[in-house]
Structure 1
Amino acid sequence: MSRLLNVMMAVGFVVLTAHSHAAITVTDDLGNQVTLAKPAQRIISLSPHVTEMIYVAGAGDRIIGTVKYSDYPAAAKNIPRVGDNRQLDIERILAMKPDLLIVWMHGAYERQLEMLHNSGIPYFFSEPHKLDNVAETLLKFGSLFGTEKQAQVAAAEFRQQVQQLNSQYQNKSKVKVFYQVWGKPLYTLNDSHIVSDAIRNCGGENIFGKLPTTAPVVGTEAVLQENPEVIITGDSKTQAVSGVEQWKTFPTLLATKNNNLISIEGDLVNRSGPRIIEGAKLICQGLEQARQKRDKTVAQPQGKK
């Protein structure tokens, strides 16, 4: 009996050990499979939105390097820098011996990424195109970091807030929206960007959503021709003058005429991380105010009769 018990305990130990070291495999946003032998302990984040997601997923203390502008939460400001969205310090990254790189697909360092890939470091490409993708990414990060419980709670909370916006705004009358990333040159975003999905969830329509480029440059005349009912600018915290100011010189523009010029902190909308839900709420509120102004304008002549 004692021998049988010893054998069973030995088998149980082997099973538990095998389970604890089971490989982790997830699919990134390029459709590539990312496999780790064990949960990542030394993570390098190559995008501010990725840094935010890692913290929310429960592994912020494992980030050993990140890029310029990764400034949220406050603790992220103390993480060593390994480059920006244009240039990476390859030697420093390799010297840090990360066991996972998490990369934003639009950084201008493709050749450097190829070098890192050839070094054998696993990497995950992250670019959520829709609000729902943020929750999905949090769950994947939870798997990669072994922080499933915290990631599941965060993902469920995020999804609940998205569903709340959907039920409240998505079936309301459409509002034509121009979203401005930058004023000179005049950058906007098309429907493949997560900002457009936030606008859609609020019952809005991106006037340049069908353009083929993710972040196209458009002309002032093109905006005037589309005559949006609302103009939203994603402004930097360090920006002296809001981007909406340039549209006040066009009094016949519908958005200007109805005072539907909305400035939102750019980090809440341009970063496709967990805080975009706060930006989406502000977008929804702005569009709802535009509808109310529209309704008052329509109702006013009837009241005079």
Structure 2
Amino acid sequence: MPGSQKEKIKNLIHLYRRKRLLKALTKILFFNLSLLVFSCDKLSENNTKFTVKDDSGLEVKFDSHPQRIISLGPNITETFFELGADSLLAGVTEYCDYPSQAKTKTNTGSYLSPDYETISSLNPDLIIINVESSNNPTYQSLKNMGFKLFLSHAKDLNGIYKMIGDIGKITGLNQRADQLIKKISSELPDVSYSDVNSVSALILIAVNPLMTTNDKTFINEISELSGFKNIYAGESQDYPVINYEDVVKRNPDVIIFPADTLNTAKNSEFEKEITEKMHNSGAVKTGNIIFIDDDIMFRPGPRITEAVKTLRNKYKRY
């Protein structure tokens, strides 16, 4: 075989091997990158020490990311599921019913009446509790039992963002938490009508006695984001008791009532009562008595955009 042909064959073999090597290196590179991306978004079990400030102002120290967590708050539980961290939940409250998978978790009672025996048997390395302050009796009881506690009490939109961020830090899912916050933030302007805010509303919390809310609550914030102006916004009490006579004088355009939407009989009974006692009001005349799922109205959590959309869609324009 002539020398030139041998040289040509050698070059072809060399080129072929080089291409195979590059192909193999490319596969290895993509594999490593995929591992890196996955590791950045999976539940963390590393031993890096970190600190997260809870809603009481306490700096809670962690030697590692907790793996057995009890949630004493439905909005907290919803956030864990939304972040894909539900496998870390060892127990939840009896009111944690969303998503439906939450009901498969061990029932630990409620934060008002917790099942301390069940909580102890679950051996949690963290309990996240939804109470207003560390002076709460349940908080103090759990603290005295030696449990590690994190107080989370979201009261408004910023509080929801903080709760999501805190749970992201605690579980090591910071990126997912940031993405969820951005998602909520980006969706709210699309469904927010706070710039018009010209429709007066009576926001009812209870019927017997008749109870509403001022402008310092999460329920009021949802209503404002939906474009409604609370007729009792200026009250000093967060949840003042009112009467029909005063409501009639203020003449709301719409009546919003967070209720068990499945209990149609009870809702019909209430609607009949409100129609009889407020028949001259704008809300009754236009049929704007809105029943909305109390879960999404009372729970400051990831479903805030759903609450705003639902509330606005149920309003009848005339």
CA contact (8 A) 2:112 2:138 kept: no
- Percent identity between matched residues is 28
Letter in 2 for 1:261: I
CA distance in 2, matches of 1:85, 1:122: 15
1:138 aligns with 2:164: yes
Q: Secondary structure, in 3 states, of the residue corresponding to 2:298?
A: coil
Letter in 2 for 1:241: K
Letter in 2 for 1:260: N
* TM-superposition CA deviations, 1:76-97 (whole Å, max 9, x none): 1111111124311223212322
Aligned to 1:241: 266
Instruction: State the shift of 1:209 in Å.
Output: 2.3
C-alpha change, 1:214 and 1:104, in structure 2 (3 Å) is farther
Higher mean C-alpha displacement, 90-99 vs 210-219 = 210-219
CA contact (8 A) 2:197 2:224 kept: no
| Aligned with residue 58 of structure 1, among 75, 80, 84 | 84
Letter in 2 for 1:247: I
1:227 aligns with 2:251: yes
- Please provide the CA RMSD for this pair: 2.3
Higher mean C-alpha displacement, 188-197 vs 73-82 = 188-197
Q: Secondary structure, in 3 states, of the residue corresponding to 2:106?
A: coil
CA contact (8 A) 1:128 1:134 kept: yes
Q: Secondary structure, in 3 states, of the residue corresponding to 1:247?
A: helix
CA distance in 2, matches of 1:123, 1:185: 35
Aligned residues: 269
TM-score of the superposed pair, with normalisation by structure 2: 0.77
Instruction: State the shift of 1:286 in Å.
Output: 4.1
1:115 aligns with 2:109: no
1:281 aligns with 2:305: no
| Aligned with residue 199 of structure 1, among 223, 230, 233 | 223
Q: Which has the larger radius of gyration?
A: 2
- Unaligned 5+ residue runs, structure 1? 1-18, 294-305
Letter in 1 for 2:279: P
Q: Secondary structure, in 3 states, of the residue corresponding to 1:269?
A: helix
Instruction: State the shift of 1:237 in Å.
Output: 3.9
* TM-superposition CA deviations, 1:101-147 (whole Å, max 9, x none): 1112159x932320212334232222222224323321211100112
TM-score of the superposed pair, with normalisation by structure 1: 0.80
Letter in 2 for 1:219: N
CA distance in 1, matches of 2:118, 2:240: 34
Aligned to 1:254: 282
- Unaligned 5+ residue runs, structure 2? 1-44
Aligned to 1:190: 214
